[in-house]
Amino acid sequence: MEQKIEASLHGEAIIKNMPGMKIPATAKLRKPSKEGYVIVAPSEEKGNHHVIDMLPGVEIYEDEMGRPRWMVNTVETQVRCLHQDRHDTRTLPPGTWELGGIQQEYDFFAEAKRNVAD
Amino acid sequence: MITELLPEQEALFPVYVQKWTDIGKNTDRLDPEETRAIVHDFQEIVLLRAKTPVVIVENPIEAWIACNYAVMGHAAEELPGLLKEYFEAEEPPIQVASPVFPYQEGSFSTAIFSYYDYILTELKLDLGEELRKRYEAWERTSKLGFIYPLDNVCIVSQKPLEIHTDEEQRLHRDGGPALTYAGYGDFQIFSLHGTRVERYLAETPGEQLDLAYYHTLKNADQKAEFVRKYGVERMLGLGKKIDSFENYPDEEWWQRSEYELWDMACLFENVPYAPHLKMLNQTTKIWHVEGVSPECRSIPQAINFRLGGENMKIVDIA
């Protein structure tokens, strides 16, 4: 039976556990930011971004658009929200991870308006 | 003849959209001298008529009442006093005709001017000196509010005091009027995401909305705005449960999230099937309900949709 990829969900952020995955050659290592974290799921309205702490031993790789897409960490790190009351902080063990996925939502409000317009 | 635009020309569309959206949303008070100059140029250069006195009023309602008095033969200088009398009387002293949209919409015409501005500036269309002068006199009216250039007076409305929009630039304000004018007539427009609504729906916090109000609404867009604000999760009782976490005892995180799939088509006009996934936030213990693709008929399909079509095993949720 096909082994399913394991995913951790932090709010709408999807973090996939990808043991042994080879980071693409086109990926670029991101420099640590002054904030000390990388945003994996932005929150435009309230600024309550989902972030992963870029500790020593945590490497974040960007895709060609400069988006954080992969993480290789040899130490534990945390995924958290800037305002922690919405979602608990979670620890990510050492490993290789795929970032950037966002849970999808279907907008029936737009569908209803579109159908009425049609 | 220009038959198609170059990519670099098309790339400038957003620049003009932003420029003219900003002009359209400007709420600066009119400068009387500048207003007179703009109106007089419009009258002489575009309308080819003589200049008239210019009366600035606070809002389109006042403008219309002033028009009625002007058409009755009252002089420009009488109009401010007559407006005061009209609005402060117990009964309206005159019968007012049904409002007619103004001859010129001022700052509300920015969509038109964005088009012409782009064509003249980027495509370098040559109007000739005379026509260019007329266009520019017309374009300058975008600095003003509504304009009624009558025979003996030109009545100009101030622009709104406040204009609120959502991220798509639709008239929108949750908690108050989306558009407000000064002056008599209590001119306020309540709108949610571009849908005109009653004050109650705009101003009442979502958690205080009464479900009974939903059943009084006939307009589909207003009903949708009610649902959006009230929260689909609070309206589940109107829907139909399709699937439940109880059917999947081996899925630990589905159990913890207490996933349920509900058809909420009853809330959306002309939508035959509207599946929504109900889930429990593991931190706050608040219920969330979010729409999933109409192709989803079960919780596994809904989860698959939410995860972007990938078949994954959820090992943690926060």
Is the CB of A112 less than 8 angstroms away from the CB of B282?
A: no
What is the DSSP secondary structure assignment for residue B104, as one 8-state letter? B
Is the CB of B291 less than 8 angstroms away from the CB of A106?
A: yes
Q: How far is A22 from chain B (nearest CA, A)?
A: 19
Cα(A8)–Cα(B202) distance, integer angstroms: 38
The length of chain B is: 318
CB atoms near residue B34 (< 10 Å): 12
The confidence score (pLDDT) of residue A76 equals 94
Element (H, E) at B88: helix B79-88
The confidence score (pLDDT) of residue B206 equals 95
The confidence score (pLDDT) of residue B224 equals 83
The confidence score (pLDDT) of residue A4 equals 86
Rg of chain B taking only CA atoms, in angstroms:
27
Is the CB of A116 less than 8 angstroms away from the CB of B220?
A: yes
Q: How far is A8 from chain B (nearest CA, A)?
A: 5
The confidence score (pLDDT) of residue B180 equals 98
The confidence score (pLDDT) of residue B232 equals 85
The confidence score (pLDDT) of residue A41 equals 87
Cα(B87)–Cα(B92) distance, integer angstroms: 7
The residue whose two tokens read 């969330």 is B288
3-state SS, residue B11: coil
Is the CB of A9 less than 8 angstroms away from the CB of B316?
A: yes
Chain A CB contacts of B313 under 8 Å are 4-7
For chain A, 118 residues long, the average pLDDT of each consecutive 10-residue run is 84 92 94 89 77 94 93 94 81 94 88 64
Chain A CB contacts of B310 under 8 Å are 5
Is the CB of A108 less than 8 angstroms away from the CB of B268?
A: yes
Hey, what are B207's tokens? Answer: 């958690």
Parts of chain B with a pLDDT under 50 = none
Cα(B232)–Cα(B228) distance, integer angstroms: 7
Cα(B253)–Cα(B92) distance, integer angstroms: 67
Q: How far is A35 from chain B (nearest CA, A)?
A: 23
The confidence score (pLDDT) of residue A97 equals 96
Phi first, then psi: give them for residue B32, nearest 5 degrees.
-55, -45
Residues B284-306: b if buried by 16+ CB within 10 A, e if exposed: eeeebbbbbebebeebbbbbbbb
Is the CB of B291 less than 8 angstroms away from the CB of A17?
A: no
Distances in whole angstroms, Cα of residue A14 to Cα of each of B106, B253, B289, B291, B305: 48, 14, 18, 18, 13
> Closest Cα partner for A104 from B307, B275, B304?
B307
Hey, what are B104's tokens? Answer: 């010129």
Rg of chain A taking only CA atoms, in angstroms:
16
Hey, what are A113's tokens? Answer: 């308006």
Cα(B136)–Cα(B15) distance, integer angstroms: 20
The confidence score (pLDDT) of residue B146 equals 97
pTM (2 d.p.): 0.73
Phi-psi region for residue B171, left (φ > 0), alpha (ψ -120 to 50) or beta?
A: beta
Cα(B128)–Cα(B135) distance, integer angstroms: 11
